[in-house]
């Protein structure tokens, strides 16, 4: 029944309630780890710090052979994930194959309430560590409290803090009230943050800040990317509309719809889209038009011809219908095919396991770097392993062949085509060397997470983060910061 509506209107069955609860609270009952495919079985992917998995002596890469005596061979991730989740305090027996020794054993794990923090990392950044940085992964219950607490701690330890970087990259959104509260950290009370409008007047509401701000004058930068959506866009769009902060990164996802949850029989729920939301300037950032479907059922972008200009508090021009455009754009590199192929075959993951086996300790996450010798060892380890993929040039050549065959001139150029195909064909090692910097960073990120978990992964990535570099640069140039916000 819901398939003809927008993708955010969902029927949530009783067995999926745990996942829904996790999305809104960041909590669930389970073993505290992601899981991933490894050959015919599944393995521990990324354990959370101090989780039941860690307490049971398990680690990333350990194979899960059986759950309560049932083989996991051939099972998919969703099926196994439901078995692993359950009420806190209940026990679970897993038959495990150790990633280091290959030994099999049975582990008894006691499920706990897993609380995945919405603030996985906070710290000081900049050349002189003068700016407070907070990463927010999702707008779950009380996330504003956790952000404020992180900022308080950073300011207490660093009284001379000169600015704030709020990182909303890859943040899919969440609770609308928390987005309003988040804006209230930097904006005084009684300020309109967002309004909603639906087909029924009951959904027409205004949401204003109500409390005292954490700091309404300190310079603020918000980082966004293509995966920043919904509540993330409310915060970024509102601070932009009110000229309270500078937005840096790539254009956001473009989800300007509000969902309301209703209880149904059999402990199920219906999450239904009830309204669109509008930032203080009056713009709606919804990018896709679900109300007008094409004959094949697909939907199109809001056309440029009907996009409207709006003005920020200081008179800067912003547009609706296309997500939040950053004030400073930093082009992101699409995932390189060589890295995508290595990840698809779990080769980066597996090499990280081998690395940890032979390196009991490493440098702190903030300074850990793989050497050229480490990279060369990875290249040697890859020899004989398949991570084939089609380059962009090979894709275009295949399309050229397809078109030339349709137009009946392929036979005349077949020899030239074959020579060109062979010349392009996959010297994957050469591609590896060409992108050694990017591959090294991807490998480094996976390795450091084995020692310092998600917090270490983020801290290590900040060493070579172009968006963060742009943020600290503009925060260090007060004249440029003021110029951007003034629109002059």
User: DSSP of 279-346, one letter per residue?
Assistant: -TTS-----EEEEEE-TTS-EEEPPGGG--EEE-TTS-EEESSS-PPPSEE-PPPPPPHHHHHHHHTT
**441 CB contacts (<8 Å, ≥6 apart)?**
461, 464
Q: State the distance between the two ends of the chain, measured CA to CA, in whole angstroms.
A: 51
Catalytic residue among 6, 167, 241, 465: 241
Q: Are 442 and 342 in contact (CB under 8 A)?
A: yes
Q: How far is CA 293 from CA 289, 300, 301, 302, in A?
A: 8, 8, 11, 12
CATH architecture of 121-332: Alpha-Beta Complex (3.90)
DSSP 147: H
Q: CA-to-CA distance for 316 and 488, rounded, in angstroms?
A: 9
Residue-level pLDDT at 231: 97
Instruction: Report the topology of domain 27-115.
Output: Pdz3 Domain (2.30.42)
E strands, 173-219, in order: 192-197, 205-208
Backbone angles phi, psi at 88, to 5 degrees: -55, 140
Kindly tell me the sign of the dihedral angle through the C-alpha atoms of 259, 261, 262, 264.
Answer: positive
User: Taken in order 410, 415, 416, 421, is the CA torsion positive or negative?
Assistant: positive
Phi-psi region of 243 (alpha: psi -120 to 50; beta: other; left: phi over 0): left
Whether 167 is catalytic: no
CB 34 within 8 A of CB 58: no
Q: Where are the domains of the chain?
A: 27-115, 121-332, 337-389+429-467, 392-425
Q: Could you list the pLDDT tens digit for every one of the 488 residues in the chain?
A: 888 888 899 999 988 887 888 888 888 899 999 999 988 999 999 999 999 999 999 999 999 999 999 999 999 998 888 889 888 999 999 999 999 999 999 999 999 999 999 999 999 999 999 999 999 999 999 999 999 999 999 999 999 999 999 999 999 999 999 999 999 999 998 999 999 999 888 889 999 999 899 999 999 999 999 999 999 999 999 999 999 999 999 999 999 999 999 999 988 999 999 999 999 999 999 998 787 766 666 667 777 777 899 999 999 999 998 899 999 999 987 667 889 889 988 999 999 999 999 999 999 999 999 999 999 999 999 988 877 776 677 778 888 888 888 888 888 888 888 888 777 665 666 778 888 999 999 999 999 999 999 999 999 999 999 999 999 999 999 999 999 999 87
Using alpha carbons only, how large is the chain's radius of gyration in Å? 25
The pTM for the full model equals 0.89
Q: How many CB atoms lie within 10 A of CB 239?
A: 25
Catalytic, 241? Answer yes
- The H or E element containing residue 363 is none
Catalytic pick from 38, 85, 255, 455? 255
CA 381 to chain centre: 30
Can you give the pLDDT at residue 427? 60
Query: Is 255 one of the catalytic residues?
Result: yes
Given a contact cutoff of 8 angstroms between Cβ atoms, the answer to whether 188 and 209 are in contact is: yes
Q: Say how far residue 476 (Cα) sits from the centre of its chain.
A: 27
**DSSP assignment of 39-104, as one string?**
TTEEEEEEEPTT-HHHHTT--TT-EEEEETTEE-TT--HHHHHHHH---TT-EEEEEEE-TTT--E
pLDDT of residue 20: 84
C-alpha atoms less than 13 angstroms from C-alpha of 261 in its C-beta half-sphere: 14
């Amino acid at each position: 029944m819901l398939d003809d509506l927008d993708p955010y209107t969902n029927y949530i069955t009783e067995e999926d309630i745990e996942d829904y609860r996790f999305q809104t609270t960041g909590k669930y009952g389970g073993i505290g780890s992601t899981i991933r495919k490894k050959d015919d079985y599944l393995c521990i992917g990324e354990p959370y710090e101090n989780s039941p998995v860690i307490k049971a002596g398990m680690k990333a890469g350990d194979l899960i052979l059986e759950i309560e005596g049932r083989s996991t061979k051939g099972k998919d991730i969703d099926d196994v994930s439901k078995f692993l989740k359950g009420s806190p305090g209940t026990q679970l027996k897993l038959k495990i194959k150790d990633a280091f020794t290959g030994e099999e054993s049975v582990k008894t794990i006691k499920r706990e309430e897993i609380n995945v923090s919405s603030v996985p990392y906070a710290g000081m950044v900049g050349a002189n560590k003068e700016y407070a940085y907070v990463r927010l992964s999702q707008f779950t219950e009380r996330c504003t409290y956790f952000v404020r607490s992180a900022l308080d701690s950073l300011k207490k330890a660093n009284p001379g803090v000169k600015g704030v970087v709020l990182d909303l990259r890859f943040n899919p959104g969440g609770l609308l009230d928390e987005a309003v509260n988040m804006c209230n950290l930097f904006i005084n009370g009684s300020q309109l943050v967002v309004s909603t409008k639906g087909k029924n007047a009951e959904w027409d509401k205004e949401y204003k800040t109500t409390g005292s701000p954490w700091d309404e004058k300190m310079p603020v930068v918000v980082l966004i990317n293509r995966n920043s959506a919904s509540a993330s866009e409310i915060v970024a769009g509102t601070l932009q509309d009110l000229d309270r902060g500078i937005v840096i990164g790539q254009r956001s996802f473009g989800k300007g719809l509000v969902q309301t949850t209703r209880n149904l029989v059999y402990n199920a729920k219906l999450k239904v889209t009830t309204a669109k939301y509008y930032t203080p300037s009056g713009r709606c950032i919804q990018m896709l038009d679900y109300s007008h479907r094409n004959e094949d059922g697909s939907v199109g972008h809001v056309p440029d011809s009907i996009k409207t200009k709006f003005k920020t508090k200081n008179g800067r021009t912003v547009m609706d219908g296309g997500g939040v455009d950053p004030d400073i754009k930093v082009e992101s590199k699409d995932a390189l095919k060589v890295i995508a192929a290595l990840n698809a075959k779990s080769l980066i993951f597996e090499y990280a396991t081998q690395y940890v086996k032979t390196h009991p300790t490493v440098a702190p996450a903030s300074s850990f770097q793989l050497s050229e010798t480490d990279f060369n060892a990875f290249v040697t380890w890859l020899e004989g392993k398949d991570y084939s993929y089609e380059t962009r040039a090979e894709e275009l050549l295949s399309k050229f062949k397809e078109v030339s065959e349709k137009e009946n001139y392929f036979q005349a150029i077949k020899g030239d085509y074959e020579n060109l195909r062979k010349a392009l064909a996959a010297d994957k090692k050469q591609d590896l060397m060409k992108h050694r910097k990017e591959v090294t960073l991807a490998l480094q990120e996976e390795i450091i997470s084995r020692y310092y978990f998600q917090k270490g992964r983020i801290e290590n990535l900040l060493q070579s983060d172009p968006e963060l570099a742009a943020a600290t640069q503009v925060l260090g140039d007060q004249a440029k910061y003021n110029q951007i916000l003034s629109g002059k």
